[in-house]
Structure formats: C-alpha cells, structure tokens
Amino acid sequence: MKKLLRVTVPLVLVAAATIGACGRRSTAGGQAQLLDLAQSRGLSPEDAAHAIKTFVAPGGRDEYLLFASGGHSGQVHVIGVPSMRLLKTIAVFTPEPWQGYGYGADWSERALATGPSGAAHAAHASHAAAVGDNGEDDPVNAKANGIADPDPIGPTEPLRWGDAHHPALSETAGKYDGRWLYINDRAHGRIGMVDLSDFRAKQILQVPNLQTSHGGIFATPDTKYVHISSKVPALKAWNASRGQTASLDDHLNRYGDIYRGYSTFVKVDPVTGHMRLKESFQVELPPYTQDLADAGKGVSDGYAFINSYNVEMATGGIQQGKPPIEVGASQLDFDYLHVINWKRAEEIIAAGKYTELNGIRVISLETAAAEGILHLVPEPRSPHGVDIAPKGDYITVSGKLDPHATVYGFELIKKAIEAKNYEGKDRYGVPILKFDAVVAGKVELGAGPLHTQYDNKGNAYTSLYLESAVAKWTLGPPYHPADRAFKLVDKVSIHYNIGHLSTAQGDTMDPQGKYLVAMNKWSIDRHTNVGPLHPQNFQLIDISAEKMELLADMPVGFGEPHYAQMVKADIIKAHEIYEPGTSPASNAKSPDALASEKDARIVKRPGEVEVWMNVVRSHFTPDIITAKVGDRIIVHLTNSEQTPDATHGFAIPTKNVMLSLDPGETTTVKFVMDKPGTYSFYCTEFCSALHLEMQGWLIVEK
Ligand code: CUA
C-alpha cells in the first residue's frame, strides 16, 4: 500500500507538470510520452518527478544560490539550487589562475598577503621581492592599522592554502544582505573576505593569538563584527607576546595554565566590508576546545554562543602514558556552552579594561568572568553544533555522543544569569549556570546529531552523522504550541555520513523552508568510481511538505566542503561590468585608469619600465614593450570594454603573471624579467574571433 502511494503521487505530479510545461498538448498524450521517456531512461515515475522539480531549463535561473566552503581547496563554490549546478568557484586562500587570483594582479596579491604582518607574509615571495610592495600601502594591511608586532604564533611563511570551513554571509537586521562573505581557515586563525559585488576575495586577515579556528565564524545581525574563535587553545597571548614557549613537560602537566582560547570580534568596515583589526577585540576563554558558534539575534542580539569540548583538557601523549585525545576528551558527562555578552564586552573595552596583545585588544579571562561577559552552560558531552532559532529565542545544541538535541531557552539563560543561578564555577572562576534552569526541551533524534537549521514553519532539521539521516522536529512556543513542541516528526536517509546541512536562509531571521542541502562526507557506491578518493556528495532535499523528499545527488570533486549558506538568488547583485577604470583593489576609479586608448604609453626610468596599457578586442596597446634584464616592469592594464562578459586575460610566459581583466577593470601587475629574450604575452580568454591575434611582445635585452 505504502509503495503504491509513493508511486502514484509522482505520477500525478508528472502529469501536472506536463500540463504546465506543454499546455497545448493533450494531458493524456503528454503524460504517456513523459512516462515512455522516463522508462526508456530507466527512471521510475518518482525519479522523473524529482528531475522535473530540480530541472532548470536552458537559459533559466535557479531560485537560490548555495555558497559552499571548498574545504582544503581554499575556495568557495557557488551552486545553483535546485539545479545543483556549479556556477562559480571563488578563490580565497589558494591562488587560482582563471580569475587571475594570486598571479600578480595587485588586488589579489593584497588579499593573499595575509595580515596583520602582511609584509612578512606576502603570498608570492617572488612578486613581493621583485616589486618591493607587499601591500604596505593597503589600508587593510598592517601599517595603516598601526600594528607593529607580528603575531608570535602566526604563520611564518607565505601560505598557499587554507582549509575553507564556514562561510558567513553579511547580514542586515539578521537577514542576508548580499554584500560580503567571510570564511575562516580551519588550519589557521584566518578569515577571508569576498566582495559579492564582483565575487572576488579582497582581504585575508590573520587574527592574532589564534592558531587554528573551526566553526567559530558568524556575522553579528548587522555585520558590525564577524566572529572567529580558536579551536584548540593556543599559548596564552600574554606569554606569547613576551616570547615564552612551552616544553613537553609544560604541555603535559601545565596545559590548563599555559593555554587559552580566544573569541574574536573582528570589526567590519560598514562601507567596504574590510576587517579592521585595530577596532576589533578578543575575549580570553578557558583552554577548552572551542568549536562551533552562532550569533544571537532578535531577542538574543548582543550575545554569542560557542560550544566547547575537551573541558577535560586532555593533552594527547599516547607514548607519554596519556590516553588518546578521543578518550581523554570524553571523560566527563558535560562540556560547556559559552555564553558571551559582546555588548557588555564593548563597554568594558570602552572603559579601557583590556590589554593590547600582539596587535589586538584582549579582555582577560578574569575580567570576562568578573564583569559578566562570559557564562558557561553545561551541555551533554562532546557537542558539535550550536544553532540559534530564527527569532533568537532557542539555542539548539547537539552532542555527537548523545542522541538528543538539547534546546536552551534564551530567556531562561538570561534569568539564570540575573538570579546568579549557578551550579558552581570552573577552575578559572567562570560561573556555570544550572543545567535544569536553562533547558527548554530535549528531543531524541538518533545517532550522532551534529548541526541544525530551521525553516519558516517552526521546524528544525538536524543532521545525524552516525545514522546518515536528517531528522525534522518541532520547536516550542511561539513556533508550535507546547503539546506539539520538541517532537520528532520525520526522518530521511542520507548517503552517507552527513556533516553540515543548509536550509534556505535557515540560519537567519528569514528562513525560507523549501530546500535543504545535506553535505555528506562519504559517497561510496553513489557515483562512478573515479579512484580511491571518492567525490564528496551533496544531496538536495525538498522540505516544502510535511515529509522530506530526497531529490538529487551532486558529486563534489573539490576538497571537503563543510558548511554552506543558501540565499535567495535575487539578494545577490554582482556587477555585470565595472565602471570604466575601476580598480578591484579599491572598488574605486584607479589613478592609473586609461581614459582612452590614445593615452596608452610607456615611461622609462633607470631600472624601471612603467606601462599604461589599453586592452580591448582584439589588441593590447602598446603591443611591444622593451626592457632590460632586471628592470622592474609595472603594467597598469585597463580593459576598456563595457560589454558584459568581454573579459580579457594577460599572461607572460616563463613568469607567474596571469591576469583576468573584466570589462571596465584597471589592474596593476609588477614583475622583473630575469633572462634576456623575446616573450609573447597574450590574452588567455577566447574573447573574439581574433582572440588568437590578441598578443604582443616583451623584448628583454641584456
Ligand atoms: Cu582578448 Cu582573447
């Protein structure tokens, strides 16, 4: 009976879709035709219905965009929903030649020159050495920020990769505003900023005092700050700033004394979206392992919530007679949810109760505890996700070792803080709220619950890693009356081992329902075998009805994506072209922009050749440049096109010089030719019928 029903429903759907799509055909004929077609491709009527639900006709548009982290590819992938087609890859932590990111273009070199000590960390040492300009003049960089000290625990060599983990779209009043996207690097305490007006990464900031970061990233509801916290604790900033390091003995026996976590509120420039370290601050945390985090919103605006595990402070040291971390970190029944009152922290900063450590203002753990900035809430052991409900009123925490979702009430937390309803303090003096006083509900979901997202009907969706499923359950009042609150209502199987999940705008104050994308770690037996390394797997699920329905698989052959945010496509408003002469570095007119091709010129100075070059279909002007070996060559290129998609490239053989110039763009590249010869530079984009002729000569003499 059940089977019959499942087959009948899609049949009706197929028929209905047929009427809609081919109104002139007879319904019966159309239905028969479609069913024949489905059968000939070996599709069940159910499959055919799913195909129709996800198909976007040629020239059509997707309703949503999914911004997915690219994991250790260091990139962000933009995917259309429901078609699950990859639209673009935005390079952030990793050079990417198609977009001219990290191959000499000034805007990209600045982004990759990770601050605050950007000069020391320019991503391309060869360029940096050659041009003597590692972005010191960049307003987002170190010196303009007044930061002298390099971060003692920051990277010491140019980083050419990052583990892109958790994207955070900028928000206005708790809703995505389509302006910027921030993403953290799991391997380091870095945040990359992507400007969504041109889908280009513009800044990477190394946040001091963090060595690693995980899910600590979110934008506050009006993007005043973007938040990042440490994952494993790092050397206490105070000690690191004085050059102190740790020995094996310190690590094994004084772990709790020498390490600290840091929750960082990175100030965002409201006009440019750039991160400003000088106006940012950190709250020192106990040396637990801080994990995922989310921003309060609505009633909880001004608060931040961070999970932690390993409150046991297991050190590792299997060969030193200590338990493996996985065992040592799972001893206690409870870990701690950190509740941070960041508006209170702002007041404490304004009152000057901070220490500047390694280029950032830090509120000490003692001050944070004493001033009511930091409270701890017990959470069932080894939690992973913490996700705030759309109105900011519930906080869902899921523990990988506990089959329940634990739902805290924000009002209950506030009351407990006011009444000092503590069950005690941790060894650092941070008050711990009484568990029973703050829990609004518990829902048994299944094995290995991780992350939760929400819809527009008061439902929550939690990924179950061990069970390979998504569980749908109900929130409490005002979303659902008390008798229907915190109930499991549906489950759908996932293939396999789901990590994060993303519902449409499901972590904002404007969730949409409709679609859910499951981000799966394993795809064994799902796709054609392409070697021992299988693609990851995204699965699209229809959540518009009471029962969830799996619609499509999308194999993902790039890195290990972690989290994604799904935004209504019409919220994103990227330029089709730049205003003539715009520098992507400044988003303003470049002083080196050419007003017309006639102004193209070459200026020679001792040891230097400076070129203002016009680029248009299908020639470069000038198309011959002469220089001497060792000359510093500076080329300002203006793509004088104003036709959408009339992109040109600029590549020089033997050098890591590869630009991509969008219509209207002015970009500068600086390099040194170290061997005499005649080099043919050329346009790398198939821009016109005469694209192959779009080349020129760089003649380098001894
Ligand atoms: Cu310009 Cu090819």
Instruction: Supply the DSSP symbol for 580.
Output: T
**Looking at this protein, which amino acid is placed at residue 403?**
P
222, with CB counted inside 10 A (0-12, 13-18, 19+), is: middle
For residue 2, name the pLDDT band (cuts at 50, 70, 90).
very low
pLDDT at 145 over 70: no
Q: For position 455, what pLDDT does the model report? A: 98
Say what percent of the chain tops pLDDT 70.
91
Looking at 297-301, 426-430, 523-527, 666-670, which range is the least confident one? 523-527
Dihedrals phi, psi of 363, to nearest 5 degrees? -90, 125
Residue 131 in contact with ligand 1 by CB distance below 6 A: no
pLDDT at 135: 32
Q: Percent of the chain having pLDDT more than 90?
A: 85
Q: Is 585 touching ligand 1 by the criterion CB < 6 Å? A: no
694 CA distance to ligand 1 middle (Å): 6
What pLDDT score was predicted for residue 160?
Answer: 84
List pLDDT tens digits, range 153-185: 888 788 889 999 999 999 999 999 999 999 999
| Residues 586, 592, 595: CA angle, nearest 5 degrees | 110
pLDDT band at 345 (very low <50, low <70, confident <90, very high): very high
Q: How far does the centroid of ligand 1 lie from the alpha carbon of residue 130, in Å? A: 27
SS3 214: coil
- For residue 257, what are the CA distances in angstroms to 238, 337, 364? 12, 21, 14
Nearest-atom number in ligand 1 for the CA of 688 is 2
Q: With a 6 A CB cut-off, is 516 part of the ligand 1 pocket?
A: no
pLDDT at 382 over 80: yes
Compute the distance from residue 89 Cα to the ligand 1 centre, in Å: 21
Compute the distance from residue 206 Cα to the ligand 1 centre, in Å: 36
Q: Is the peptide bond before 478 cis (omega within 30 degrees of 0)?
A: yes
Give the C-alpha distances (Å, rounded to integers) separating 570 from 83, 177, 334, 566, 574.
16, 10, 43, 12, 10
Q: Answer yes or no: is the C-beta of 651 below 6 A from any ligand 1 atom.
A: no
Q: Is the CB of 90 under 6 A from ligand 1?
A: no
**Ligand 1 atom at minimal distance to the Cα of residue 618:** 1
Tokens of 19: 């009427």
Q: What is the pLDDT of residue 121?
A: 38
**Looking at residue 513, what is its pLDDT?**
97
CA 691 to ligand 1: nearest atom: 2
Average the pLDDT over each of 102-116, 301-315, 593-607 and give the range with the smallest value.
Answer: 102-116
CB of 694 shorter than 6 A to ligand 1: yes
Calculate how far, in angstroms, residue 96's C-alpha sits from the geometric centre of ligand 1.
19
pLDDT in tens, 606-632: 999 999 999 999 999 999 999 999 999
Q: Does the model's pTM come out above 0.75?
A: yes
| pLDDT given at position 11 | 47
pLDDT confidence of residue 700: 98
User: Phi first, then psi: what are they for 178, rounded to 5°?
Assistant: 75, 15
Q: What is the 3-state secondary structure (H, E, C) of 19-62?
A: HHHCCCCCHHHHHHHHHHHHHHCCCCHHHHHHHHHHCCCCCCCC
Which has more confidence, 123 or 425?
Answer: 425
Q: By C-alpha distance, which of 653, 617, 621 is closest to 636? A: 621
| 91 pLDDT higher than 60 | yes
Q: Decide if pLDDT at 391 tops 60.
A: yes
Look at residue 38 and tell me whether its pLDDT is greater than 60.
yes
Query: Is any ligand 1 atom within 6 A of the Cβ of residue 685?
Result: yes
Does any ligand 1 atom lie closer than 6 A to the CB of residue 619?
no
- pLDDT reported for residue 40: 96
Is the distance from CB of 671 to CB of 651 less than 8 angstroms? no
Mean pLDDT of the region 386-403: 94
Question: Residue holding tokens 């979901």?
Answer: 445
pLDDT band of residue 6 (cuts 50, 70, 90) is very low
Alpha carbon of 195 to ligand 1 centroid (Å): 25
pLDDT digits (tens, 9 = 90+) for 454-463: 999 999 999 9
For residue 316, count CB atoms less than 10 angstroms from its CB and return exposed for 0-12, middle for 13-18, buried for 19 or more. middle
What pLDDT, on a 0 to 100 scale, did the predictor assign at position 689? 95
Q: Which of 124-138, 225-239, 291-305 has the lowest mean pLDDT?
A: 124-138
For the stretch 659-693, what's the b/e string if a residue is b when 16 or more beta carbons lie within 10 angstroms of its beta carbon? bbbbbbbbbbbbbbbeeeeebebbbbbebeeebee
Distance 686 CA to ligand 1 centre (A): 5
Does the structure show a pLDDT above 50 at 21? no
- The confidence band for 479, taking pLDDT boundaries of 50, 70 and 90, is very high
**What distance in angstroms lies between residue 684's CA and the mean position of ligand 1's atoms?**
6
CA distances to 235, 255, 426, 701 from 287, in Å = 9, 8, 11, 60
Which residues touch 669 (CB under 8 Å, ≥6 apart)?
Answer: 104, 105, 106, 634, 635, 637, 650, 657, 659
What pLDDT sits at residue 400?
Answer: 82
Distance 91 CA to ligand 1 centre (A): 22
pLDDT for 317 beyond 50: yes
Q: What's the pLDDT score for residue 26?
A: 56
Ligand 1 binding pocket includes 231 (Cβ within 6 Å) = no
Helix (H) or strand (E) holding 451: strand 449-454
The SS3 of residue 352 is coil
What pLDDT, on a 0 to 100 scale, did the predictor assign at position 142?
Answer: 43
Tell me how far CA of residue 368 lies from CA of 129, 345, 360, 363, in angstroms.
Answer: 43, 8, 16, 6
CA of 680 from ligand 1 middle (Å) equals 14
Closest atom, ligand 1, to C-alpha of 649:
1
Report whether residue 329 contacts ligand 1, using a CB cutoff of 6 Å. Answer: no
Q: Would you state the pLDDT for residue 18? A: 43
Q: What mean pLDDT is predicted for residues 620-645? A: 98
Residue 226: predicted pLDDT: 98
687 Cβ inside 6 Å of ligand 1: yes
Distance 627 CA to ligand 1 centre (A): 24
- When the pLDDT of each residue in the chain is averaged and rounded to a whole number, the result is 91
What confidence category does residue 478 fall into, taking pLDDT thresholds of 50, 70 and 90?
very high
